[in-house]
Chain A
Amino acid sequence: MSTTTADLSADPGLRAAEEAHHRKMRRLAWRRRLLPVAGIGGFIGLWAFIVWFWEVPRFVAPSPQLVLATLFERWDVLLANLVPTAIEAFAGFTLGNLAAIAVATVFVHRKTAEEAFFPVVVLINTIPVVAKAPILVLLMGNGMEPKIAIAALICFFPTLVNMVRGLESVNPQAMELMRVLSASEREIFFKLRLRNALPYLFSALKIAASTAVIGAIVGEWIGSTYGIGALIIQSMYNFDSPMLYATVIVGSAFSVLFFAVIVAAERYFIRWQPANNA
């Protein structure tokens, strides 16, 4: 048998096939990296062409070059306004998700609480963000608090739903095992349910990372004088389209960064494959 394997590894046909496979893999890896770059580049090129060809006026839409220049020239203003938005988004993200995890824990252990309060949660979730914002501004004044509250509210619902699913969708035989081992509710929660819920939680956190930023920005639309949201409104009223676009880019760049941090945390914390048959 061992001679057969030795013969195989010396076989030139096999080596050629292996090399062809590696070449194909390398090509695919480059494709994966280059295609998105080409897509974004093409999109910006098309944008520049349209603005140039139809001579779109500056107050309607800027050229990409102008936006880039604005990004560099007004970097200080943009950064000064990003900081409060980032703080609001981060604080709202933390509060909203912690609250969702706490409520999910209660729901899983007290079915009565879930049946009584879940409809209330659904009801609050049906109110659009743009409608929640004025209500919260009236309630909490014009500081950071209402923006944090909006960001928190917007994160709360997806995390709650996912977390309840994750805590409940435990392998029934693993639950029986815990019974056989006389495990307490507390042990079942920390050793089984919580770990089981982690992949579900991270799916929700990835959604929440971008929606928290949206929440903070929408909050700043209502009578705020600082932040990315306020800057967007001001630029629009001033017909300052390069500044408007630059602000939007800064806001989305922050969202992408936030999302990437959550993805990195997910890779760090979840090293197993959430296979159900394990």
Chain B
Amino acid sequence: MTAAVDCRNVTVRFVTDRRTVTALHDVSFDVEPGGFLSLLGPSGCGKSTLLRVVADLVAPSSGTTTVFGTTPAEARAARALGFVFQDAALLPWRTAIQNVELPLEVGGARSLPPGAPTPKELLKLVGLEGWENSFPHELSGGMRQRVSIARALLGGPRLLLMDEPFGALDEITRDRLNEELRRIWAETGTTILFVTHSVYEAVFVGEQVLVLAANPGRVAARVAVDLPRDRDLTIRETPEFIRIVAGLRDAMGRRAA
């Protein structure tokens, strides 16, 4: 079976006036279709850069990446991937539903594939039924991020890339959205790559956690999350959860020391 994402020996260097920064050094990993991989690491470890390599927003200096067997550029053109940014990146002059509809209006006129959920249905999926005609400034931070998730899901992408999507939200909202993200993942069957710097979040949402270390950004460990698929937040108090978290902290700490 073709992997959803397959990165082989990816290195990214940024040349600035003063020095050359190696953001990622020889990173290899893969995700199976329908998988949920958390990318965990301290700031500066290149996890956002890695996500941007997969989305064809950053060109790697060397190495190859495939998305469902095609290049990232082909996957992007075929709308095989959706991207959720840390700040919801909604267009403030558009209502919630108009923001969700944006992908249909750019990149060549498109219509929804038959059977794909409509913008209205997607807003319902993310729990915003009745808010279709609200403007972003009328929505809370959590609601804005829900709109942006609905927008990324339009057209039924096979891969969802999320760059610290809940990083700017308060803890209570964040917990609730983590739960809902698990539900959305189960309902849509989309492969998800989820960047975070919170160990708890990484373990709670992911089926697998890829730990990255900084300077230069590289893979430190890959840990499987052996928890039931059906999770609610109470699972964070179970010994299994705590054991996995401790293991990840160990993997991160050993590298940093």
Chain A contact residues, CB within 8 Å of chain B: 171, 173-174, 176-184, 187-188, 191-192, 195, 198, 270-275, 277-278
Cα A128 to Cα B93 in complex, Å, equals 38
Select one of A180, A270, A271, A273 contacting B83, CB under 8 A.
Answer: A180
Residues of B within 8 A of A (CB): 52, 55-57, 76-77, 79, 81-83, 85-93, 102-103, 105-108, 135-137, 141, 144
When C-beta atoms are compared, the residue in chain B nearest to A198 turns out to be B93
Chain B residues contacting A191 (CB-CB under 8 Å) are: 91, 102, 105-106
13 pairs across A/B with beta carbons < 8 Å? A173-B89, A178-B106, A180-B83, A181-B103, A183-B107, A191-B91, A192-B91, A271-B135, A272-B92, A273-B137, A275-B137, A277-B87, A278-B88
**Contact B85 A181, beta carbon cutoff 8 Å:** no
**Roughly how many angstroms separate A237 CA and B230 CA in the complex, as a whole number?**
91
The 4 closest A-B pairs by CB, nearest first: A182-B107, A278-B136, A183-B106, A173-B89
Interface of B (DSSP majority class)? loop
Compute how far the CA of A181 lies from the CA of B110 in the bound complex, rounded to whole angstroms. 11
Question: Could you tell me the distance between the alpha carbons of A113 and B144 in the complex, rounded to whole angstroms?
Answer: 38
Task: Please state if B77 and A274 are interface contacts (CB–CB under 8 Å).
Answer: no
Contact B107 A187 (CB under 8 A): yes
Closest-CB distance, A102 to chain B (whole angstroms): 22
Bound-state CA distance A23–B116 (Å) is 54
> Across the interface, do B77 and A182 meet the contact criterion of CB distance under 8 Å?
yes
**A180, B92: Cβ atoms closer than 8 Å:** no
| In contact, A195 and B91 (Cβ under 8 angstroms) | yes
Determine how close the nearest CB of chain B comes to the CB of A135; give it in whole angstroms. Answer: 41
Q: How far is the CA of A271 from the CA of B89 in the complex (A)?
A: 18
Q: A180-B83, A272-B137 given as contacts; is B57 within 8 A of A278 (CB)? A: no
Specify which chain A residues have a CB less than 8 angstroms from the CB of B136 in the assembled complex: 272, 275, 278
Q: Which residues of A contact B56 (CB under 8 A)?
A: 179-180
Which of B87, B105, B135 is A273 in contact with, Cβ under 8 Å?
B135
Besides A177-B83, A272-B135, 18 new A-B residue pairs in contact (Cβ under 8 A), listed by A number: A171-B87, A173-B85, A174-B89, A176-B83, A176-B89, A177-B85, A179-B57, A180-B83, A181-B103, A182-B106, A182-B107, A187-B107, A188-B106, A192-B91, A270-B93, A271-B135, A273-B92, A277-B87
Q: Min CB distance, A73 to chain B, in Å? A: 50
Could you tell me if B90 and A180 are in contact, using CB atoms closer than 8 angstroms? no
Whether B137 pairs with A278 at a CB distance below 8 angstroms is yes
> Given A183-B107, A272-B137: A278 and B144 within 8 A (CB)?
yes
Q: Taking CB as reference atom, which chain A residue is nearest B55?
A: A180
Complex Cα distance, B93 from A22, in Å, reads 32
The answer on a CB contact under 8 Å between B102 and A181 is yes
What separation, in Å, do the CA atoms of A198 and B144 have in the docked complex?
22
For A275, list chain B residues within 8 Å (CB): 92, 136-137
Alpha-carbon distance between A179 and B161 when the two chains are bound, in angstroms: 14
Are the CB atoms of B135 and A180 closer together than 8 Å? Answer: no
Chain B: CB-nearest residue to A180: B83
- Residues of A within 8 Å of B107, CB to CB, are 181-184, 187
Instruction: Give chain B residues whose Cβ lies under 8 Å from the Cβ of A184.
Output: 106-107
Query: Hey, which chain A residues are within 8 Å of B92, CB to CB?
Result: 272-275, 278
A172 to B, closest residue via Cβ: B89
Q: How far is the CA of A192 from the CA of B83 in the complex (A)?
A: 17
Distance A84 CA – B187 CA, assembled complex (angstroms): 68
Contact A176 B85 (CB under 8 A): yes
- Within 8 Å by CB of B106, from A176, A181, A273, lies A181
Determine if B76 and A180 form an interchain contact, defined as CB atoms under 8 angstroms apart: yes
Q: How far is the CA of A177 from the CA of B87 in the complex (A)?
A: 11
Q: Which A residues touch B102, using CB under 8 A?
A: 181, 191
Cα A274 to Cα B85 with chains together (Å): 19
- Measured in the bound complex, the distance between the Cα atoms of B137 and A170 in whole Å is 17
Q: Are A171 and B106 in contact (CB under 8 A)?
A: no
Complex: A177 Cα to B149 Cα, angstroms: 12
Cβ-defined contact, A272 with B87, below 8 A: no
- Measured CA separation A270–B136 after assembly (Å): 14
Closest to A270 in B: B93
**Residue of B with least CB distance to A275:** B137
Say whether A173 contacts B106, CB under 8 Å. Answer: no
Minimal beta-carbon separation of A196 from chain B (angstroms):
8
Bound CA–CA A182/B76 (angstroms): 7
CA A180 to CA B107, docked complex, whole Å? 9
Query: Which A residue sits closest to B85, measured CB to CB?
Result: A173
Residue of B whose beta carbon sits closest to that of A175: B89
On chain B, the residues within 8 Å of A180 by CB distance are 55-57, 76, 81-83
A-chain residues with CB within 8 Å of residue B89 when the two chains form the complex: 171, 173-174, 176-177
CB distance from A155 to the nearest CB of B (A): 25
Q: Which residue of A lies closest to B155 (CB)?
A: A181
